[in-house]
Copies of this chain bind each other. A is one copy, B any other.
Amino acid sequence: MEQLRPLDTLNEARGKNVIVELKNNKQLVGKLKAFDIHVNTVLEDGEEKVDGEVKRKLGTIFIRGDMVVFISPA
């Protein structure tokens, strides 16, 4: 387990629903479709939430990596 790298964890989450917490305090929730080493991330069937409440349905979302605080299972 010691040699596990952080991006391996993201890899295991592909195809699953995740919460992406952003630096502007919003959350994007959707199915994790793709990511890269900059943590640029793509969600499918994505929604924007503010304080846990759905604010907008967005569909496919390309998120710039440097806006990400954390990603966890939805």
Contact = CB atoms under 8 A, between A and B. Distances in A.
Contact of A70 (B11, B13, B63, B69): B63
A67 B40 CA distance: 14
A7 B58 CA distance: 17
Contacts of A66: 64, 66
A70 B64 contact: yes
Given A60-B72, A62-B70, 19 more contacts: A1-B15, A4-B34, A5-B34, A5-B36, A6-B35, A6-B41, A6-B63, A7-B40, A9-B34, A9-B42, A10-B62, A13-B62, A22-B69, A23-B24, A24-B69, A39-B40, A59-B73, A61-B72, A67-B70
